[in-house]
Amino acid sequence: MKVCEVCGVREARVLQKHSRRALCAECFTADIVERVRGEVARYSMFSPSDRLLLALSGGKDSFVLMDVVKELHDVGRVGIVTVVEGIEGYNREEDLEWLKQSSRTYGIDINIVTLKDFVGYSLDEVVKLGSLRNLGVSPCTYCGVLRRRAINYVARVHGYDKVLTAHNLDDEVQTSLMNILRGDTARLIQNHPLSPTLSRYFVKRVKPLRKVYEWETSVYAYLKGFRFQGAECPYITSRPTLRAELRDYLYEVELSRPGTLLKVLEAVDSYVERVLLSKASQLPELPQCELCGSPTAYGRRLCATCDLLSRLGIVKAVPY
């Protein structure tokens, strides 16, 4: 039996390649909790008095976020929101059941929002309208914009101080590289944990798991007895997005040079902190969308939601 390199007592069960350590289950999960604690403190993601809204889908990353947050925060000040997109064949009943069960176990509020109720159309209906009109917008774009809107709305009307999402290190490096490749400095800043909230109508979003590898969230969930999400979103494979290409590329790089993803995100963080953040702090309050009144980007007449919906021929002021 190989012994854990941290406690020196229990059997090592996980090889953590980026740290070159073999760890037992307890030391591995404790390492994740402590790294998240460190990241939360480093960027003051939330304070003890904050009311936190966890935006969860029900998959393994959701499980890990919930499990870690209850170690770090008073569960009496935590709530859950989950958005049901309305995607056929993407079975969410089990995931929803687990989220409802967790909310009962910990006695926390759960808000379930369906896009059908919130926007008037399910994601499938939106995608269908988009392809009828040949808009060339990927399903992930509709989904991202509409989910974000629904989550912010729930956080705002229920008076939460922060929205926590379960994005992991792999997600964050993909997003950073996408923003760099597109030359999108504004989004590069927005994605940094210290980016200013540019409107009083936006609830600050933070990502406590941003330095935890995707494989680590899988192993954490497995070691804690969480069963895996069965279905993958059918739209993921519908066409090769830049994100999917980067995911495959980064997987190869990480395999041959363990620790690369961590180094990339740390380099991006430090670049944004040294060069870009000071400019962002002088920005004025965001302008309002002409159709719905929601905050929108500088120089834009419509917010992203109204823009997408109007291109689909839908005129509706979705709440924000």
List residues binding Zn ion (CB under 5 A). Answer: 4, 6-7, 10, 24, 27, 289, 291-292, 294, 303, 306
Alpha carbons 226 and 91: distance in angstroms, whole number? 17
Given the complex with Zn ion, which of 81 and 306 has the nearer CB atom? 306
For the chain, give the number of residues: 320
DSSP string, 243-306: HHHHHHHHHHHHHHSTTHHHHHHHHHHHHIIIIIHHHHTTPPPPPBPTTT--B--TT-SS-HHH
Alpha carbons 116 and 100: distance in angstroms, whole number? 20
Give least dist CB 198 to Zn ion, A: 16
Alpha carbons 24 and 16: distance in angstroms, whole number? 10
Give least dist CB 304 to Zn ion, A: 8
Q: Three-state SS for 111?
A: strand
Given the complex with Zn ion, which of 24 and 83 has the nearer CB atom? 24
Q: Three-state SS for 110?
A: strand
For residue 294, what are its two tokens? 């929601």
What does the longest C-alpha to C-alpha distance in the chain come to?
66
Dihedral in degrees, nearest 10, Cα atoms 307, 309, 310, 312: 130
Give least dist CB 170 to Zn ion, A: 25
Work out the number of other CB atoms within 10 angstroms of the CB of residue 55: 24
Give least dist CB 317 to Zn ion, A: 7
Element (H, E) at 6: none
Give least dist CB 36 to Zn ion, A: 18
Give least dist CB 314 to Zn ion, A: 12
For residue 248, what are its two tokens? 């495959």
Given the complex with Zn ion, which of 6 and 261 has the nearer CB atom? 6
Give least dist CB 22 to Zn ion, A: 9
DSSP string, 8-42: SSSBP-EEETTTTEEE-HHHHHHHHHHHHHHHHHH
Given the complex with Zn ion, which of 30 and 233 has the nearer CB atom? 30
Given the complex with Zn ion, which of 6 and 52 has the nearer CB atom? 6
Give least dist CB 292 to Zn ion, A: 3
Given the complex with Zn ion, which of 153 and 235 has the nearer CB atom? 153
Given the complex with Zn ion, which of 155 and 306 has the nearer CB atom? 306
Alpha carbons 228 and 221: distance in angstroms, whole number? 8
Give least dist CB 287 to Zn ion, A: 11
- Strands 21-23, 14-16: pairing is antiparallel
Q: Three-state SS for 165?
A: strand
Given the complex with Zn ion, which of 24 and 115 has the nearer CB atom? 24
Given the complex with Zn ion, which of 260 and 288 has the nearer CB atom? 288
